[in-house]
Structure 1
Amino acid sequence: MSYSPFLRAVGTLLLSTICLAGSRPDAHAPIGVMGDHLHARNQIMVSYRMMHMDMPGQRQGSQELSAHEVHALGHDAAATNMSMNMHMMGAMYAPTKSVTLMLMGMWLEKDMTLQSSPHGMHGHGTHGHSSSGWGDTSLTALIGLHQDDTHRVHLGLGVSLPTGAADVRQAGTFLPYGMQLGSGTWDFLPSVTYTGIADTWSWGAQISGKIREHARNDSGFTLGNAVSTTCWAARPLSESISASARLVHHSEGAIAGHFNDTHGHAAPPHFPRNYGGQRLECAAGLNLSPPTGPLAGHRIALEVHVPVYQDMNGIGMDTGITFMAGWQKKI
């Protein structure tokens, strides 16, 4: 008895199932998840993402602090607001069906407003810092570990190149650590991603890390190691639109070392002990990926993050609502 017709039928069914899943608007993870999928051999994808994060004040541990409370703790100034715009440009290329290479660069714009204490030595009223420029660049290999008609698992092995400046100054003085544009170190970027898809739902989870080079950078410090864990579920609303919900947990260690040249000591952001901590966020997203028409092959997506819990190391910046929008195109 020959099993060839049966095996061909099963293979055709499996392939059509995977192709159908890939054409659904929820076939990819929410736009805020990086490196969530592999590509077919020789396929290229280009992408652009824009993220806006607002940090409306400071908190000590999990407790919000007003500027007056920061001054009362002995600081001559308090950071009342910080905003960051991140423009991320990426490209993915698959040399084989089980390996996809991912390159991502970014342009950063940061602004911080500080309020001086009326009893301090740094004047009265408000003043600010700003910085902008290229951030660090990442190169990652995504390696498939398992794939069937429902489940996929892949490993990410990446490196972050120190292309962003870690020595940004204003009037000859180092800007606060959080206003720098890069880490100044070569960092290892490991990750593991799982995705699943069924008739009316898709889901997934990812854990990713950022392991810093042990040595201090040229400015005298090393950022803390970071771990992000996320899980999500998505559902098609039509053949072109899907909605997603996601939980995200970030954890980052404290900064080691300190600036090795002139730097401020007026406000909490000037001290390395006030960086790092953990944060839990809820996120909701929409994806537009039409199967036909002028936008076929394009994906346009939006995601909004709301923090539900924060616990800072020392007196850190309080994270507010974060917005991310993105565009992707397969070639």
Structure 2
Amino acid sequence: MKPAGTAARPLLLAALLAPSFASACSSCGCTLNSDWASQGYSVGAGLRFDLRYDYFNQSQLRSGTDSVDRASLELPNEREIQQTTVNRNTTLSVDYAPSRAWGVNVQLPYFDRYHSTIAPGDTALSYSQSSGMGDARITARYQGFSPEAGFGVLFGVKLPTGRTGTNFYAGPQAGTPLDRGLQLGTGTWDALLGVYDFGSLGPSVGYFAQAVLQQPLNSDSGFRPGTGVNVTAGLRYTAWSRITPQFQFNLRAEKRESGVNADVANSGATLAYLSPGIGFRLNAHWDGFAFIQLPVYQRVNGFQLEPERLFSVGLQYRM
């Protein structure tokens, strides 16, 4: 087993690029860093593939920092009263490092999302079901600032590859467009900028920390998602050869949407999670992981749906 500082390096290389989806219009996202199974690898040239699956059911209606009792809301209502959003997300990541200092990562997400809501003025539920490719990401990284390679930067772009034209399929709103914040893509190009640091706190404990800014660069059909920031800090126990326990703190803060087709009143949030999990080595090429994210702080603007817990599992293959 390598020292904890060495073990942490590949974790940050790929974990920085973990998916982080917009939280506007109740489409909250996983902020988990998932590539920690690579902690025992050296930092060098190579090709890696990651397949990750996230499941979370947004069933809790919230306003500010409180939950909302739907039974206390009269129908019809002047506000939208969302019921549930079930997310099943699969992300394929391809990571290539031509040298120890440089690397590039491409992410291809696939979303499967079910949503039900009561629109303003309605008394019955409307339903949507959308599945397909989300917004792809291409990100480069550089960590050649020191021989230890414990500090790095990343920069890249989110592409507008996800579909934005899904309609409700049933209920009073059938045939009308779904909220832009619940579409498979935002329709915008976003810049991604981040920094990270990692090392060891002892012979068996590694740490890592990172911050990533996501800044939309344009609007699409009267919609612009809010600027978002993801911050993660974690500890990892490295004394065991096959199993590695890990504990993460994940924070996402996002501003409100803007534009004539944005749900300005019900977008933007600050969300914090504690995320325990384990990684396990299957053989010389395959590793796996499993995590649960538990919310410890949720502050949303207007009315938004949030999950009580989020689940993530995945596999990694290295050449």
TM-score (norm 2): 0.83
Indicate which of 271, 294, 305 corresponds to 2:293: 305
Name the residue aligned to 1:122. Answer: 122
Name the residue aligned to 2:165. Answer: 167
Q: Secondary structure at the match of 1:221?
A: coil
How many angstroms does 1:41 deviate by? Answer: 4.6
Q: Deviations over 1:82-127 (max 9, x none)?
A: 11111000111112221011000100011112257xxx85344x34
Q: Which residue identity lines up with residue 50 of structure 2 in the other structure?
A: S
Q: Deviations over 1:164-200 (max 9, x none)?
A: 0123223442102332011111100111111113411
Spell out the pairing of 1:133-172 with structure 2 (5 A cutoff). 133-148=132-147, 152-170=150-168, 171-172=174-175
| Aligned equivalents of 2:211, 2:104: Cα separation in 1 | 18
Identity of aligned residues (%): 20
TM-score (norm 1): 0.80
Q: Which residue identity lines up with residue 220 of structure 1 in the other structure?
A: G
Name the residue aligned to 1:10. Answer: none
Name the residue aligned to 1:203. Answer: 207
Q: Secondary structure at the match of 1:211?
A: strand
Going from structure 1 to structure 2, the CA distance change for 1:19 and 1:45 (only over 3 Å counts) comes to farther
Does 2:103 match 1:100? Answer: yes
Name the residue aligned to 2:61. Answer: 58
Going from structure 1 to structure 2, the CA distance change for 1:187 and 1:20 (only over 3 Å counts) comes to closer
Indicate which of 187, 190, 193 corresponds to 2:196: 193
Q: Which residue identity lines up with residue 111 of structure 1 in the other structure?
A: Y
How many angstroms does 1:220 deviate by? Answer: 1.4
| Aligned equivalents of 1:39, 1:93: Cα separation in 2 | 14
Q: Deviations over 1:27-71 (max 9, x none)?
A: 736783168889755410011011112211311111111223444
Going from structure 1 to structure 2, the CA distance change for 1:105 and 1:95 (only over 3 Å counts) comes to same
| Aligned equivalents of 1:224, 1:20: Cα separation in 2 | 35
How many angstroms does 1:313 deviate by? Answer: 1.4
Structure 2 gaps, min length 5:
19-31, 169-173
Question: Contact (CA 8 Å) 1:158, 1:189: kept in 2 or not?
Answer: yes
Question: Contact (CA 8 Å) 1:237, 1:243: kept in 2 or not?
Answer: no
Question: Contact (CA 8 Å) 1:145, 1:155: kept in 2 or not?
Answer: no
Q: Secondary structure at the match of 2:236?
A: strand
Does 2:316 match 1:325? Answer: no
Indicate which of 78, 81, 91 corresponds to 2:81: 78
Question: Contact (CA 8 Å) 2:4, 2:206: kept in 1 or not?
Answer: no
Q: Which residue identity lines up with residue 68 of structure 1 in the other structure?
A: A
| Aligned equivalents of 2:146, 2:242: Cα separation in 1 | 25
Name the residue aligned to 2:21. Answer: none
Question: Contact (CA 8 Å) 2:78, 2:121: kept in 1 or not?
Answer: no
How many angstroms does 1:239 deviate by? Answer: 0.8
| Aligned equivalents of 2:180, 2:73: Cα separation in 1 | 18
Indicate which of 271, 282, 291 corresponds to 1:279: 271
| Aligned equivalents of 1:193, 1:271: Cα separation in 2 | 33
| Aligned equivalents of 1:206, 1:33: Cα separation in 2 | 10
How many angstroms does 1:77 deviate by? Answer: 4.8
Q: Which residue identity lines up with residue 132 of structure 2 in the other structure?
A: G
Q: Secondary structure at the match of 2:308?
A: coil
Q: Secondary structure at the match of 2:107?
A: strand
Going from structure 1 to structure 2, the CA distance change for 1:272 and 1:19 (only over 3 Å counts) comes to closer
Indicate which of 62, 81, 91 corresponds to 1:88: 91
| Aligned equivalents of 1:306, 1:154: Cα separation in 2 | 28
Name the residue aligned to 2:253. Answer: 251
| Aligned equivalents of 1:301, 1:183: Cα separation in 2 | 29
Which stretch of structure 1 is more off in the superposition, 50-59 or 223-232?
A: 50-59
Question: Contact (CA 8 Å) 1:194, 1:205: kept in 2 or not?
Answer: yes
Going from structure 1 to structure 2, the CA distance change for 1:72 and 1:55 (only over 3 Å counts) comes to same
Q: Radius of gyration: which is bigger? A: 1
Q: Deviations over 1:226-281 (max 9, x none)?
A: 0011100010362110101111111011010132xxxxxxxxxx833201110111
Going from structure 1 to structure 2, the CA distance change for 1:78 and 1:201 (only over 3 Å counts) comes to same
| Aligned equivalents of 1:204, 1:253: Cα separation in 2 | 26
Question: Contact (CA 8 Å) 2:61, 2:305: kept in 1 or not?
Answer: yes
| Aligned equivalents of 1:299, 1:140: Cα separation in 2 | 23
| Aligned equivalents of 1:289, 1:20: Cα separation in 2 | 19
Q: Pairwise CA RMSD of aligned residues?
A: 2.9
Q: Which residue identity lines up with residue 153 of structure 1 in the other structure?
A: F
Question: Contact (CA 8 Å) 1:27, 1:202: kept in 2 or not?
Answer: no
How many angstroms does 1:73 deviate by? Answer: 9.7
Going from structure 1 to structure 2, the CA distance change for 1:20 and 1:226 (only over 3 Å counts) comes to closer
